C-alpha cells in the first residue's frame, strides 16, 4: 500500500465537501476561504502484516487518514494505492443501516465485503456469539445502545477476510470485558498476517499492538518511526505544549 503526497481538503461550515461543478472541473482550484487541509503532503508505504499506530492530538487528521486508506474519501492531491481489501471499523455506525435489523445488517455488511450467502450463514452464529447480542437479532440497528452497536460492528468487521484492518477509537465505547475480547481478536488477526491501522490515545494499547507509528500534527505526518519512538515524541511534545 502506498500513499504519496496525499492531501485532503475540507470546507468549514458546509454539509457536503464537493459540488458537481467541482467534480466536473478539470482546473486545480486554489484553497478558498473557509477551506483547509485536513491532511497534506502525507507519504508512506506499508507492507503486508505491519501494525501501524496512528497518533496525534484531537482534530489532527487521524480519522481522515483512516478514511483515505479505506478509500471512503479520495485525495484532493497526490495518490493513494491500496492493494487488497480493507475491513474498516472507523465510525460507530460505519456502514450499518439504522432502519435494518441486526440480522440484515450483518448480511449487508458481510455481503458488501464479498462474502457469499452460504459463507455468511456459516459465520453468522460465531459473529452473534462474539457480539453477545443474540436477543436483538430482529431489532433495528438504531435501537441498539452505542456499546451494542460497537459490539456487532466489531464482530462483523473482524470476521471479514480482508487483509487490512482499520480500527479507529470506536472501541473506547465498549465495556472492559468486551474490549479485552476485541484486543485478543486483534492479536489473532495480526498473527495471521493482517495489516493493522490503529488509532488510539492509549500508550499501553499502542505499544501492545503496533510496531510502527505515524504521528500527525495539523494534517502533516511529522514522524514515521518505530512505535516506541513515536510515543516518546508525542509524550514529550504533549508535555512541552500546554
Ligand atoms: N467531512 C468533513 N468536513 C469538514 N471538516 C472535516 C470533515 N471531517 C473531518 N473534518 C475536520 O478535519 C480535521 C481532522 O479531523 P479528524 O477527524 O481526521 O481528526 P482526528 O485526528 O481523528 O481527531 P480525534 O482525535 O478528535 O478523533 C478536523 O478539523 C475536523 O473538524
Considering the chain, what percentage of its residues have pLDDT values greater than 90? 76
In angstroms, the CA 64 to CA 221 distance is: 12
Distances from the Cα of 67 to the Cα of 89, 165, 186, angstroms: 10, 12, 19
Measure 62 CA to ligand 1 centroid, in angstroms: 8
pLDDT at 28 (0 to 100): 56
Taking CA atoms only, the protein residue closest to ligand 1 atom 24 is 58
Give the residue extent of every domain in the chain. 1-85+199-242
pLDDT category at 128 given cuts 50, 70, 90 is very high
- Please name which of 57, 45, 40, 50 lies closest in space to residue 5, comparing C-alpha atoms: 40
Please provide the average confidence, as pLDDT, over all residues in the chain: 90
- Mean pLDDT score, 214-227: 98
- Position with higher pLDDT, 15 vs 59: 59
Taking CA atoms only, the protein residue closest to ligand 1 atom 12 is 38
- State phi, psi for 164 to the nearest 5 degrees: -120, 130
Taking CA atoms only, the protein residue closest to ligand 1 atom 7 is 10
Q: Which of 37, 61, 169 to mutate to test the pocket of ligand 1 (most atoms within 8 A of CB)?
A: 61
Is a pLDDT exceeding 80 seen at residue 144? yes
pLDDT at 31 (0 to 100): 60
pTM of the model: 0.89
pLDDT at 48 (0 to 100): 94
pLDDT tens across 15-47, in order? 555 555 555 555 555 566 688 999 999 999 999
Total residues found in the chain within this entry: 242
- 64 C-beta closer than 6 A to ligand 1: yes
- 53 C-beta closer than 6 A to ligand 1: no
pLDDT at 136 (0 to 100): 95
- Mean pLDDT score, 93-117: 90
Is a pLDDT exceeding 70 seen at residue 123? yes
Taking CA atoms only, the protein residue closest to ligand 1 atom 27 is 58
pLDDT category at 14 given cuts 50, 70, 90 is low
pLDDT category at 174 given cuts 50, 70, 90 is confident
Domain 1-85+199-242 has CATH 3.40.50.300: yes
Measure 113 CA to ligand 1 centroid, in angstroms: 26
pLDDT at 209 (0 to 100): 94
- Mean pLDDT score, 197-207: 94
**Hey, is 123 helix, strand or coil?**
helix
Record the cell numbers describing residue 54, joined without a space: 496512528
Sign of CA dihedral 226, 84, 38, 5: positive
Measure 122 CA to ligand 1 centroid, in angstroms: 38
* Number of the ligand 1 atom closest to the C-alpha atom of 65: 18
pLDDT tens across 63-92, in order? 999 999 999 899 999 999 998 899 988 876
- 93 C-beta closer than 6 A to ligand 1: no
Q: Where are the alpha helices (H) located in the chain, listed in sequence order?
A: 20-24, 62-70, 102-112, 117-131, 146-157, 176-191, 203-209, 227-240
Amino acid at each position: 500500500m502506498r500513499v504519496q503526497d496525499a492531501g485532503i481538503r475540507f470546507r468549514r461550515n458546509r454539509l457536503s465537501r464537493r459540488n458537481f461543478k467541482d467534480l466536473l472541473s478539470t482546473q486545480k482550484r486554489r484553497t478558498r476561504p473557509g477551506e483547509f487541509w485536513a491532511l497534506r503532503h502525507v507519504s508512506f508505504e506499508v507492507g503486508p502484516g505491519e501494525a501501524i499506530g496512528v497518533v496525534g492530538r484531537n482534530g489532527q487528521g487521524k480519522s481522515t487518514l483512516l478514511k483515505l486508506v479505506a478509500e471512503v474519501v479520495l485525495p484532493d492531491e497526490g495518490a493513494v494505492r491500496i492493494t487488497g481489501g480493507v475491513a474498516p471499523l472507523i465510525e460507530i455506525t460505519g456502514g450499518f443501516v439504522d432502519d435494518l435489523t441486526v440480522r440484515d445488517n450483518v448480511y449487508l455488511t458481510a455481503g458488501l465485503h464479498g462474502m457469499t450467502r452460504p459463507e455468511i450463514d456459516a459465520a453468522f452464529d460465531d459473529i452473534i456469539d462474539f457480539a453477545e447480542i443474540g436477543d436483538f437479532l430482529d431489532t433495528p440497528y438504531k435501537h441498539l445502545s452505542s456499546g451494542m452497536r460497537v459490539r456487532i460492528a466489531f464482530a462483523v468487521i473482524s470476521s471479514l477476510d480482508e487483509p487490512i484492518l482499520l480500527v479507529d477509537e470506536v472501541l473506547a465505547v465498549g465495556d472492559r470485558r468486551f474490549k479485552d475480547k476485541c484486543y485478543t481478536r486483534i492479536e489473532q488477526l495480526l498473527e495471521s498476517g493482517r495489516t493493522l491501522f490503529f488509532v488510539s490515545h492509549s500508550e499501553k494499547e499502542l505499544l501492545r499492538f503496533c510496531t510502527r507509528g505515524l504521528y500527525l500534527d495539523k494534517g502533516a505526518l511529522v514522524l514515521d518511526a518505530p512505535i516506541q519512538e513515536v510515543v516518546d515524541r508525542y509524550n514529550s511534545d504533549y508535555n512541552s505544549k500546554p
